[in-house]
Amino acid sequence: MKFVEWCDLFVIGNKTIDDQHQVLLEIANTFHNEAKKGFNRKVTNDTMNQLIDYAQKHFFTEETITGKLDLPIELLDNHNEIHEKLIMDIYKIHEDLSSGKINSMYDIEKFLTDWLILHILIEDKKYKEYLHR
């Protein structure tokens, strides 16, 4: 069973962004399935490395697409700042994991849930209307 199931609620309306969001949700689903088995530092590190790589690619793509829209500059700047903070948060979690400060899959799973679901449903939805102008 999937932790987060892709549905119309997540659809932004741009195929590239929606496809990338689905990949990010699959990373979270894979992590969740592994988390149910108990804490595994290698799986967790691998997930965080995959998340860092893919999130950077996704944010670059999303910022390129939204940069071409007629977004209010405040919205665009705020969205890009949120992306920067999320990348820094991912690096911090990865660092804490590597140093032994994190020994719980729950903390990482909560971050993935909050970040992926809330970011898509709240932050990314703010520019959805501009995709269709």
Q: Nearest Cα to 64, choosing from 56, 22, 126? A: 56
Say whether pLDDT at 77 is over 80: yes
Residue showing tokens 């149910």: 36
pLDDT of residue 100: 80
CATH classification code of 21-131: 1.20.120.50
Higher pLDDT, 85 or 35: 85
Q: Where are the domains of the chain?
A: 21-131
pLDDT of residue 60: 95
State the number of CA atoms in the 13 A half-sphere of 16 facing the CB.
11
CA distance 103 to 78: 32
Alpha helices per DSSP H over 36-72: 41-67
CA distance 73 to 57: 22
Q: Which pLDDT tens digit goes with each residue over 84-125? A: 998 898 888 888 888 888 777 777 888 888 888 888 999 999
pLDDT band for position 81 (cuts 50, 70, 90): very high
Q: Nearest Cα to 100, choosing from 48, 41, 42? A: 41
pLDDT band for position 11 (cuts 50, 70, 90): very high
pLDDT band for position 74 (cuts 50, 70, 90): very high
Residue 72 structure tokens: 């209010």
Cβ proximity of 4 and 25 under 8 Å:
yes
pLDDT of residue 72: 93
Mean pLDDT across the stretch 45-64? 90
Residue 17 structure tokens: 């962004």
Residues 6+ apart with CB under 8 A from 10: 18, 21, 25, 120, 121
pLDDT of residue 22: 95
Portion of the chain with pLDDT greater than 90, in percent: 42
